[in-house]
Amino acid sequence: MDQSQGGNPFGRLIEFARPHKTGYIVSVVLAVLGVAFGIVPYFATARMTIELLSGNRDLSFYMVWCLISGGCFVLKAILMGISTRASHEATFEVLSEARRKIASKLTRVPMGYILNTPSGQLKNGMVERIEQLEVPLAHVIPEMTSNLLVPIAIIVYLFVLDWRMALVSLITIPVGMMCYMGMMKEYPKKYGEVVKAGNHMSATTVEYIGGIEVIKAFNQADNSYQKFTDAVHANADLILDWMKDTQKYSAIMMSVWPAALISVLPVGCLFYMSGSLSAATFITVTVLSLGIAGPLVAAMFFTDDIAKIGTVMGEIDGILNQPELVRPERKCDLQNLDIALENVHFAYEEKEVLKGIDLTIPQGKITAFVGPSGSGKSTIAKLIASFWDVTGGLITIGDKSVKEISNDQLNDLISYVSQDNYLFNDTVRNNIRMGKPEASDSEVEQIAKDSGCHEFIMNLEHGYETVVGGAGGHLSGGERQRIAIARAMLKNAPIVILDEATSYTDPENEAVIQEAISRLTKGKTLIVIAHRLSTITDSDQIVVVKDGTIQAKGTHEELLKECSLYHTMWTAHMDAKEVKTA
Ligand SMILES: Nc1ncnc2c1ncn2[C@@H]1O[C@H](COP(=O)(O)OP(=O)(O)OP(=O)(O)O)[C@@H](O)[C@H]1O
């Protein structure tokens, strides 16, 4: 994990590339050699022009120089090709490692960060931002190095030939530099704004697609979905304004920079007439001065990408530097799997939602949480599964704080099934198999039978091979929940948490699933959160939660007698059931 960050963004980029430095070194060396061969034709042209003017009529002399020039062009192309390939191979390794780092980081940060960050923004960090490192890594490192070396080598040579002409050939460079500085003066600020607007547009687009059903139902299609259209326009306006600001500078720069002949020709003529410059030097300087601007302009184009590095690395580090749930790597010994909550307090943000929970959940028993909506039931379950750290108090499993249990061990211990368990856009079979990746096809089918969902799966168009669509969108809510339960049962963890896991299921199927769950979780610790109280009456312990505190706990019969809130909830539930069946 990378926590060493901050400071110079270019340094951070090099840090990313360091494991593949051999590829980059090879690439730079080959690019420099390629450039060196690329300079030869300029010298050959100057040499041949001088000889022509001095009256040399030896054809073989010119043929040899033409061959040398042609050979150098070919060598340059080959070396540059291999250099680009080496830098790209190294770069695509670096990019995939960076993406893997972010993906793995997301599994270690508290769930709060993931839930509170728009998924479009996280996707941007993992896909677009990392993609933007491709140019700096694959092109800037070899090509910018070589493109700067060519003009430097030519300039040094010009100074050796005639320092006055060397200075004259450089006159356009400061003018071009001034335009360039004008173009770049607000770059970090402007690019930061563009990234922000892009992220907002991306997050709004994801929200638009995710909420398309609601948008259609409330007749908010396309343009009338203001938030989306505003984000798209804001993004386009920002980029256009920025382009308008910089266009004048770039137009002047691109025309002035390559115009070295404007100064070299008249001044060279004057020196030549006055006898202080030989024809040979004049011709050589004229030809070579043409070779300065091209690579410089090419190198300058990369500074655009370099200027982006700060913002891009900032976004990537923004994810990589998120505080993690601190957990040990090593497995610890647990005496038993009793779960205890001691004076647990918790706040998602400012407002405290759990206010001192004391509770023991014995191993191998069924504990159910009931209570009004928003009272904190799911939060208790999520804290047991370590989605967040408690703000105060302690949660233990087998007398060990959950903070002392490694992520892997806790994942093996707990199966958590929520109301909206995510299904991947894959086959039903593969979605169930996620519970135990090494499970055979027959194991998957057996658990589906045991969980009471084989029949409905076989009725799907392609049975177990039916692709469930993005987030399981091709299935009904109840079907999605049943597959999620089968997946959790296949995992066969000793602690199972069902958080409204059958809420979308119709009463007839719910009875089948309940029966299957009780069979499959025999001997395991089962924690159930349910609104339909009739499904939890057999629990060993029912915990009534209200306003983040425990109002009462006991069996169904005990609570009916002792807890007025439970009694009221039960009566309301039974009345609702009667109305439905009437
Ligand atoms: N990710 C979150 N960020 C901020 N607040 C949250 C978050 N999740 C839940 N809350 C708030 O915490 C409180 C307890 O929520 P919780 O989901 O634990 O209640 P619950 O009893 O399970 O409710 P329900 O029966 O409706 O599912 C609520 O006020 C809820 O708005």
Distance 377 CA to ligand 1 centre (A): 8
What pLDDT, on a 0 to 100 scale, did the predictor assign at position 54?
Answer: 84
Angle at 60 between CA 55 and CA 63, to 5 degrees: 100
Give 108-133 pLDDT, tens digit per residue.
887 777 777 777 777 777 888 888 88
**Is residue 90, in this structure, part of any structural domain at all?**
no
What pLDDT, on a 0 to 100 scale, did the predictor assign at position 6?
Answer: 47
Distances (CA, A) of 465 to 426, 462, 478: 9, 5, 19
Give 32-71 pLDDT, tens digit per residue.
888 788 888 888 888 888 888 888 888 999 999 999 999 9
Closest atom of ligand 1 to 548 CA is 14
Ligand 1 pocket, residue 394 CB under 6 Å: no
Closest atom of ligand 1 to 115 CA is 1
**Is residue 505, in this structure, part of any structural domain at all?**
yes
Which residues span the domain enclosing 417? 339-581
Residue 516 tokens read as: 């299957």
Ligand 1 pocket, residue 375 CB under 6 Å: yes
What pLDDT, on a 0 to 100 scale, did the predictor assign at position 497?
Answer: 92
What pLDDT, on a 0 to 100 scale, did the predictor assign at position 330?
Answer: 87
Distance 348 CA to ligand 1 centre (A): 9
Distance 220 CA to ligand 1 centre (A): 28
Distance 376 CA to ligand 1 centre (A): 6
Q: Is the pLDDT of residue 1 over 70?
A: no
Give 134-162 pLDDT, tens digit per residue.
887 888 878 787 778 878 888 898 899 89
Ligand 1 pocket, residue 378 CB under 6 Å: yes
CB 272 within 8 A of CB 131: no
Give 470 or 379, the one with higher predicted confidence: 379
3-state DSSP call for residue 368?
A: strand
Q: Are strands 400-401 and 392-397 parallel, antiparallel or unpaired?
A: antiparallel
Question: Binning pLDDT at 50, 70 and 90, where does residue 4 land?
Answer: very low
What pLDDT, on a 0 to 100 scale, did the predictor assign at position 2?
Answer: 39
Report the residue among 350, 352, 379, 388 best suited for mutation to probe ligand 1: largest number of ligand atoms under 8 A from its CB.
379
3-state DSSP call for residue 427?
A: strand
Region 393-406: mean pLDDT is 92
3-state DSSP call for residue 257?
A: coil
**Could you tell me what percent of the chain has a pLDDT over 70?**
93
Q: Are strands 541-546 and 366-370 parallel, antiparallel or unpaired?
A: parallel
Ligand 1 pocket, residue 353 CB under 6 Å: yes
Give 200-211 pLDDT, tens digit per residue.
888 788 778 777
Q: Is the pLDDT of residue 105 over 90?
A: no
- The CA distance from 375 to 353, in Å, is 8
Q: Is the pLDDT of residue 300 over 70?
A: yes
Q: Is the pLDDT of residue 514 over 80?
A: no
Q: Is the pLDDT of residue 546 over 90?
A: yes
Distance 548 CA to ligand 1 centre (A): 10
Give 8 or 385, the one with higher predicted confidence: 385
**Could you tell me what percent of the chain has a pLDDT over 90?**
28
Give 272-284 pLDDT, tens digit per residue.
999 999 888 898 8
Report the residue among 349, 353, 417 best suited for mutation to probe ligand 1: largest number of ligand atoms under 8 A from its CB.
353
Give 437-476 pLDDT, tens digit per residue.
888 999 999 999 888 888 889 988 888 998 877 656 667 7
What pLDDT, on a 0 to 100 scale, did the predictor assign at position 376?
Answer: 94
Q: What is the ipTM of this complex?
A: 0.97
Ligand 1 pocket, residue 27 CB under 6 Å: no
Distance 17 CA to ligand 1 centre (A): 43
What pLDDT, on a 0 to 100 scale, did the predictor assign at position 440?
Answer: 92
Region 177-201: mean pLDDT is 82
| CB atoms closer than 10 angstroms to residue 54 | 9
Region 258-282: mean pLDDT is 88
**Is residue 122, in this structure, part of any structural domain at all?**
no
Report the residue among 344, 351, 377, 498 best suited for mutation to probe ligand 1: largest number of ligand atoms under 8 A from its CB.
377
Region 368-380: mean pLDDT is 93
**Is residue 546, in this structure, part of any structural domain at all?**
yes
Ligand 1 pocket, residue 418 CB under 6 Å: no
Distance 375 CA to ligand 1 centre (A): 7
Ligand 1 pocket, residue 502 CB under 6 Å: no
What pLDDT, on a 0 to 100 scale, did the predictor assign at position 470?
Answer: 62
Q: Whose CA is nearest to atom 12 of ligand 1?
A: 353
Nearest to 104 by CA among 116, 93, 115, 96: 96
Ligand 1 pocket, residue 374 CB under 6 Å: yes
Q: Whose CA is nearest to atom 17 of ligand 1?
A: 378
Ligand 1 pocket, residue 377 CB under 6 Å: yes
Q: Whose CA is nearest to atom 31 of ligand 1?
A: 374
Report the residue among 111, 348, 545 best suited for mutation to probe ligand 1: largest number of ligand atoms under 8 A from its CB.
348
Nearest to 118 by CA among 193, 222, 201: 201
Number of domains in the chain: 1
Question: Residue 153 burial by CB count (10 A; 0-12/13-18/19+): exposed, middle or buried?
Answer: middle
3-state DSSP call for residue 323?
A: coil
**Is residue 513, in this structure, part of any structural domain at all?**
yes
pTM: 0.68
Q: Chain-centre distance of CA 67, in angstroms?
A: 51
Give 348-361 pLDDT, tens digit per residue.
888 899 999 999 99
Here the CATH number for the domain that contains residue 483 is 3.40.50.300
